[in-house]
Amino acid sequence: MGESNTLKSFVETAAKSAFPIQNLPYGVFVTAGNSGPRTGVAIGDKVLDLSLLESKGLLPKSADPIHGTGSLNAFAAMGRSYWLKTRETLQSLLSESSDAKDAVSQCLIGREETQMQMPFKVGSFTDFYACENHASNVGRLFRKGQPPLMPNWKHLPVAYHGRATTVFVDGTPVVRPSGLVMKPGQEAPEFSASRKMDYELELGIFVGTGNPDGEPIAAKNALDHIFGFVILNDWSARDIQAFEYKPLGPFLGKSFATSISPWVVTPDALKPCMKDHVVDGPVQAEYLKNGSKLMPHIDFSVELETQDGGHKEICEANSKELYWTPDQMLAHHSINGCVMQTGDLLGTGTISGKEEGTLGSLLEATMNGAEPVDMSCGEKRTFLQDGDHLKISGQANCGDYIVGFGEVGATLLPARELF
């Protein structure tokens, strides 16, 4: 058993929680008594106020205060060596043997007293299509009689550029979008509210330090540029998407909302559940095959609650199902000289397994609405209805402890009356 496994915190609730001292995810929060957003760390049922800790001189020095800025951007821009130094300092301060228990205790707040905010000011959002199971399922649904994967799929991480302005934190309601929809048998589309609202279970990746000079980020160094991970739900209006996506790809069918969990879990916290990742595919380009070849193994659960009290877990999946690793996605994104910046967000694309109950979207789970999901109250769902609340939670099993992500949830609201 390694040293990190035996490390314990003086915060009594930490060891058996999703936020033990081995995790220490970062987020941004406010409280009723202090509306100023500042950086916090989850530990047990508490939040450690890093802005207050910084003011006491207990954190690694920086040129300017960085934990009261209202986002993680300034902290993430400091780079990996500073992240490591901060993590080591926090583990020391929160440990059973800490010499600063009294000072640190003054900076602890009950998690129930906090309200979480967006962790980053997101500069750009890119959504990948990195799970073979999902891509194959979608290909079989919409390209019947053809190979499920396009010829390029196993040679490069396919992606599209999304909207950073509509990335929302856990708890933010989502409004049903409207757009042009082509109904079966019609010759022209009609403008209407989407009738096929869906979710997509994904892992989100936040860039810490980018490449301001446009120099490509090598896959072997990419993990050093990744600040952390969140749960991501890239909401999808399948009927709007179906009419607009040829020939260019997703646009209005996806740009209306993306939800993320508030706690950002670092690669260092996930090290014990990073496992060698081997895929069955063609020889990859040199810039993609020289990475870490590590994939975090994170268990996800998706729960759907209806307005009438129905409740069902509709999906359990694991990030090991991804074909492309996080470092490959970042390396590919930058290989053409694309400038990546602190706070940029990458989504992995929908994570789906092979078995029933492991499909990370209703599109797959219901075969595009042909096979409804039975809810506990007798209701059925093909796609999401107004008032439905969808919640995704995640955690990684590290043996003697778990590394939790918390959750991301949102309620679907009716479409706006536009015309």
Mean pLDDT of 140-149: 93
Q: Tell me, what DSSP letter sits at residue 24?
A: -
Per-residue confidence band for 4, with pLDDT thresholds at 50, 70 and 90: low
In which residue ranges of the chain is CATH 2.30.30.230 found?
Answer: 3-116
- Please report the pLDDT score of residue 155 as a whole number: 97
In which residue ranges of the chain is CATH 3.90.850.10 found?
Answer: 125-413
Mean pLDDT of 88-109: 98
Tens of pLDDT, residue by residue over 9-43, are: 999 999 999 999 999 999 999 999 888 999 999 99
* Domain at 3-116, CATH homologous superfamily: Fumarylacetoacetase, N-terminal domain (2.30.30.230)
Cα angle, residue 267 at apex, residues 264 and 268 outer, rounded to 5°: 110
- Please report the pLDDT score of residue 107 as a whole number: 98
- Please report the pLDDT score of residue 220 as a whole number: 93
- What does the H/E/C string look like for the chain? CCHHHHCCECCCCCCCCCCCCCCCCEEEEEECCEEEEEEEEEECCEEEEHHHHHHCCCCCCCCCCCCCCCCCHHHHCCCHHHHHHHHHHHHHHHECCCCCHHHHHCCEEEHHHEEECCCCCCCCEEEECCEHHHHHHHHHHHCCCCCCCCCCCCCCCCEEECCHHHEEECCCCEECCEEEECCCCCCCCEEEECCCEECCEEEEEEECCCCCCCCCCCHHHHHHHEEEEEEEEECEEHHHHHHHCCCCCCCCCCCCCEEECCCEECHHHHHHHEEECCCCCCCCCHHHHCCCCEEECCEEEEEEECCCCCEEEEEEEEHHHECCCHHHHHHHHHCCCCCCCCCCEEECCCCCCCCCCCCCCHHHHCCCCCCCEECCCCCEECCECCCCEEEEEEEEECCCCEEEEEEEEEEEECCCCCC
Mean pLDDT of 144-172: 96
What is the pLDDT of the chain when averaged over all its residues? 96
pTM to 2 decimal places? 0.97
Whether pLDDT at 347 is above 60: yes
Q: How is domain 125-413 classified at the architecture level of CATH? A: Alpha-Beta Complex (3.90)
> How many percent of the chain have pLDDT more than 90?
91
- Please report the pLDDT score of residue 1 as a whole number: 31
* Residues involved in catalysis: 134
Instruction: Report the distance separating Cα 178 and Cα 342, nearest Å.
Output: 32
Tens of pLDDT, residue by residue over 211-267, are: 999 999 999 999 999 999 999 999 999 999 999 988 888 999 999 999 999 999 999
Whether pLDDT at 5 is above 80: no
